[in-house]
Amino acid sequence: MTLTQDLREALGDENVLEEPVELHLFSKDASLMRGEPSVVVFPANANETAAVVRIAERHRVPIVARGAGTGLAAGASPTQGGIVVVTTRIKDIEIDVENRTAWVGAGVINLDLSVAAKPHGLYFAPDPSSQSACTIGGNVANNSGGPHCLSEGSTTSHVLGMEAVLTGGEVVVLGGAAPDPIGLDLKGALVGSEGTLGIVTRALVRLLPIEPDVRTLLMDFATVEDAARTVSDVIAAGVVPAALELMDQEMVRAVDNWLGAGLPIDAAAVLLAEVVGETEGVVAQSELISDIGRQNHATGVQVAADDDERALLWLGRKSAFGAIAQLAPDYYLHDAVVPRTRLVEVMTGIYGIAEKYGLTMCNVFHAGDGNLHPLIAFDSSDPEMNRLVHEAGDEIVALCLKAGGALSGEHGIGIEKRDLMRASFSELDLDAQARLKEVFDPAGVFNPTKVLPEGSRCFDFGGVRRELPDGVWV
């Protein structure tokens, strides 16, 4: 039988797509890079996913796992064709209130998990800006973060275990509810692996209790430097807020024009801070943050009066990427991370790069942990503009790495940053990562060409790069 016939027999006709228009809809994620899938399938559970893996290996075609397609690094773009495995039908939620955990299907929307947990006084901490659309499977694959991960950590800190499909269609459960499982942390290897080692079908996640009180502050500044300096001073004062987000003037104006939220559009930058906990501590911390902001020349400090006002402020922050559509049809961004103490220096450099290339640059980022999101608004149909934008992006990454930063804080590497990996990792590092992939995926079926640049499985010996034979360590 043909590939499509095998898949239809395993999943049913209604769960296999092959018409050109259907394939086009699943040919890319939210990045700028498009592929050409051979077929798109929708398994309902791990067993059906395992059947797809076995069929793919039999026909020698690649597999690209996909959730909602909100990824920004082309991790779910099928650049070598093959099967796109969409996990959105795997959407069961089993909450264990007593242990504050939940088994969650890979296709569950991030926000839906917190909505389901709220009646039990619980929530799921990782909250990407796309949380109303992105899925748990994608969050696990990319180790996603979010505004409220400053104090609680990114997705990896909240994944206790997982059900995954590996090579040969083997279904395994890695990790578990035990707080300190013995043996190697294979679960940890899959979190953030971007679908290159296998397909996560369900995750056992940690749920946190909803805090009794919350304060959300909006501070505006005459300079971006004052806002960035406030971030470092708040952390240095011993306060780790639930969130600490910065938007510059270009971004604030786009967001406010989009929502009409009454944001201070004349400010060079705004800082959104949130503290949670018992009322006495929340009041004390919000007052301390306000004082630090004023010491750094904040021209206004606003505390959300109620839940509606707080929700509007967060809607503004989480609508930032969508608001860019008013400026240009496309945007390009990186999510490099830099030390908080280097924020002022790096931001100054980023604005210099934008000016050098004559680009429209907006900045919105998780300031508390130094996770930058410089967005370049442009028209990708212009070849010359495409060239300039990517050159500027490479310079931004180089600037961040020189400041002691890292390539990605939450979006992943995918294809977008793949060829920049050598700027961050040695040949030995890349070889070790490639060997790990070979252990999990010896046939190279899972999401090929992603994350690791070509030639990673090699070693620089005597100035000559050469392939390492299997089983031989130079």
Res. 473: pLDDT tops 70: no
**What's the sign of the alpha-carbon dihedral 454, 460, 462, 468?**
negative
Q: Which domains does the chain have, with CATH numbers?
A: 3-86 (3.30.43.10), 93-209 (3.30.465.10), 213-322 (3.30.70.3450), 327-402 (3.30.70.2740)
Read off the pLDDT of residues 20-46 as tens digits, 9 standing for 90 and up. Answer: 999 999 999 999 899 999 999 999 999
Residue with tokens 């979190």: 191
**Which among 83, 206, 68, 195 is positioned nearest to 140, based on CA atoms?**
195
Rounded to 10 deg, the angle between the 224-236 and 343-357 helix axes is 160
Using alpha carbons, list the distances in angstroms from residue 33 to 23, 76, 160, 168, 307. 15, 10, 33, 29, 39
> What percent of the chain is modeled with pLDDT above 90?
91
Residue 384 corresponds to which amino acid?
Answer: E
Q: What is the mean pLDDT of residues 418-425?
A: 94
Q: What integer pLDDT is reported at residue 468 of this predicted model?
A: 34
Query: How far from chain centre, in Å, is Cα 320?
Result: 15
Read off the pLDDT of residues 281-300 as tens digits, 9 standing for 90 and up. Answer: 999 999 999 999 999 999 99
Residue with tokens 């786009």: 254
Q: What is the mean pLDDT of residues 114-123?
A: 98
Sort strands 159-165 and 171-175 into parallel, antiparallel or unpaired: antiparallel
Q: What integer pLDDT is reported at residue 448 of this predicted model?
A: 96
Q: What integer pLDDT is reported at residue 178 of this predicted model?
A: 85
Read off the pLDDT of residues 201-231 as tens digits, 9 standing for 90 and up. Answer: 999 999 999 999 999 999 999 999 999 999 9
Mean pLDDT, the chain, rounded, equals: 93
Task: Give the pLDDT band (50/70/90) at residue 305.
Answer: very high
Read off the pLDDT of residues 162-173 as tens digits, 9 standing for 90 and up. Answer: 999 999 999 999
Res. 435: pLDDT tops 70: yes
Read off the pLDDT of residues 32-83 as tens digits, 9 standing for 90 and up. Answer: 899 999 999 999 999 999 999 999 999 999 999 999 999 999 999 999 999 9
Read off the pLDDT of residues 443-465 as tens digits, 9 standing for 90 and up. Answer: 999 999 999 999 998 644 333 33
Q: In what order do the strands lie in the sheet with 159-165?
A: 93-96, 101-105, 199-206, 159-165, 171-175
Q: What is the mean pLDDT of residues 329-352?
A: 93
Q: What is the mean pLDDT of residues 235-262?
A: 94
Q: What integer pLDDT is reported at residue 460 of this predicted model?
A: 40
Q: What integer pLDDT is reported at residue 472 of this predicted model?
A: 32
Task: Give the pLDDT band (50/70/90) at residue 469.
Answer: very low
CB 66 within 8 Å of CB 44? no
Q: What integer pLDDT is reported at residue 180 of this predicted model?
A: 78
